[in-house]
Amino acid sequence: MMKIGFIGIGLMGGPLARNLIRAGREVLFFARNKEHIEKTLSAGTTGKLVSSVRDLADCDIVFTCLPLPQTVKSVMMEDGGLLNHMKPHSVYIDTSTIDPHTAGEIEAYAAQKNIHYLGCTLGLGPAQAELAQEPIFAGGDRATFDRCKDILDIIGSPVHYLGGVKQAYAFKIISNMVGMTNL
């Protein structure tokens, strides 16, 4: 069975990680917020808190759901960043709301490390995520998407493949802008 890592178990990431745990998947997660940790651990016996982001380096898939593009880059790319330590051919899936340019930088950096990258933007909110009814819009290599589709189906529905990584993030920005005009 695939070992899954998760960084960012807050408002949106928490439900995604808990859906994986409820489905019986082994999920190692890194977090600092005690309330988020307790809520995620209560989802089932297959979730385990780790003491460092680096403890996720042996995972087959690592998810992030972080609040800012700079945070994603810091955790994944800077000195000591997880992409520098993940095993070759593993998969990094980002569900954060970041811009297409940053996504392109991460994609290029991951490719240099022989790590596959999917950008998976989320379409609704925490309530839908908790019920695994969060629309997911994925971008990246098609073979990597196909390899991870069963995992994505656990965390959300429906799951759409949009093409390249930048397309997923551009779609998210456009979707947010359209949503704002309807307020």
Residues whose CB is less than 8 angstroms from the CB of residue 145 and which lie 6 or more positions away in sequence, other chains included: 118, 138, 152, 161
Reported as a pLDDT band with limits 50, 70 and 90, residue 176 is: low
Helix (H), strand (E) at residue 154: helix 142-155
Alpha carbon distance 24, 11 (integer Å): 21
| Burial (CB count <10 Å: 0-12, 13-18, 19+), residue 7 | buried
What is the value of pTM for the model shown?
0.94
**Dihedral sign computed on CA atoms, order 6, 8, 9, 11:** negative
Report the 10 Å Cβ neighbour count for 155.
25
Per-residue pLDDT tens over the stretch 53-100: 999 999 999 999 999 999 999 999 998 899 999 999 999 999 998 999
Report the 10 Å Cβ neighbour count for 54.
15
The DSSP 8-state label assigned to residue 55 in this structure reads: G
Give me the domain span that covers residue 133: 3-181
Q: Is the pLDDT higher at 84 or at 178?
A: 84
Per-residue pLDDT tens over the stretch 109-164: 999 999 999 999 998 889 999 999 999 999 999 999 999 999 999 999 999 999 99
State the angle between helix axes of 69-76 and 100-112 in degrees (0 to 180), rounded to the nearest 10: 10
The DSSP 8-state label assigned to residue 160 in this structure reads: E
Alpha carbon distance 131, 83 (integer Å): 30
What CATH number is attached to the domain comprising 121?
A: 3.40.50.720
Q: How many domains does the chain have?
A: 1
For residues 98-131, one letter each, b for 16 or more C-beta atoms within 10 angstroms of the residue's C-beta and e for the rest, the string is: bebebbebbbebbeebebbbbbbbbbeebebbee
